[in-house]
Homo-oligomer: A and B are copies of this chain.
Amino acid sequence: MIKVVLLGSGNVAYHLALALNSAEHVELIQRYSRNATNSILFDSSIPHTCDLETLLTADVYIIAIKDEAIASISEKISHLKGLVIHTSGTVPMHALDSKLKRGVLYPVQSLSIKQHIEFNEVPLVIEAAKNKDLELLHQLASQLSDHIFNLDSVARKKLHISAVFANNFSNYMFTCAQTLCQKNQIPFEVLRPLILETGKKIQYMDPLEAQTGPARRNDQQVIEKHLGQLSGEHKEIYEIVTAAISKTYQPK
């Protein structure tokens, strides 16, 4: 049985608490958060504290709080003997206090308290300084998810850049689509199923293969017509992304 203390009360902490609670060989023995806000959302049977001095002895302490606060909270608990991990995609492992046994468990998913998710399908990226710690972390992670990846802090940083494209930037393309629809009194509802399918396709197909549209066909006639109807950022983005797609499929 792996004993775990969870620090935090946000989106990631919420989903981790649910997953930890349902894991067979894990015992979530305590939750910490600065104040009791949000605690109503968590299983009330998990003992809660607002005082870092009263943390129980555990095998693993999971810091699931804001990136900016990770280093300072780890200093305050630097006397702990258990493995201390954070859950951030961008903060390097060595941001944790050097006196600690350190590690990272980063769930690669957009998590929201509002939204149910099958946690066992969430990819978990793990890292630890020592082999023994990585072993324990792997044991813990495999209790939570079926998809575990070992990546060091350098690779995790690169992964985060990729995630910005995959999630943030693709979402902005949806925003452009919605803005254009609004401008032209077209209900955005028309595009929602297409957007869902765009993401679904990538579950069994590489995006390189899934690409369609005028840029892929290098259909200059349609491209020119579209550009003639766009302005500002939309036009700029259309030009640059179209050029990049064309180059990918019609290399000179």
B residues near A166, Cβ cutoff 8 Å:
173-174, 177, 191, 194-195, 198
A186 within 8 A of B: yes
Closest to A211 in B: B171
> Would you give the 0/1 interface string for A206-247, flagging 1 where the beta carbon is closer than 8 Å to chain B?
111011111110000010011001100110111011011101
B residues near A190, Cβ cutoff 8 Å:
108, 123, 125, 147, 149, 159
| Cross-chain contact B147 with A213 (CB below 8 angstroms) | no
Q: Please, could you name 20 A-B residue pairs with CB atoms under 8 Å apart, sorted by A?
A: A90-B222, A108-B194, A110-B201, A125-B190, A149-B186, A155-B184, A158-B186, A161-B226, A161-B229, A165-B173, A165-B174, A166-B173, A166-B174, A166-B194, A167-B212, A168-B214, A172-B244, A173-B173, A175-B248, A196-B199
Given contacts A157-B225, A175-B207, 9 further A-B contacts (CB under 8 A): A108-B194, A110-B198, A151-B186, A158-B186, A159-B181, A162-B176, A166-B198, A170-B174, A177-B207
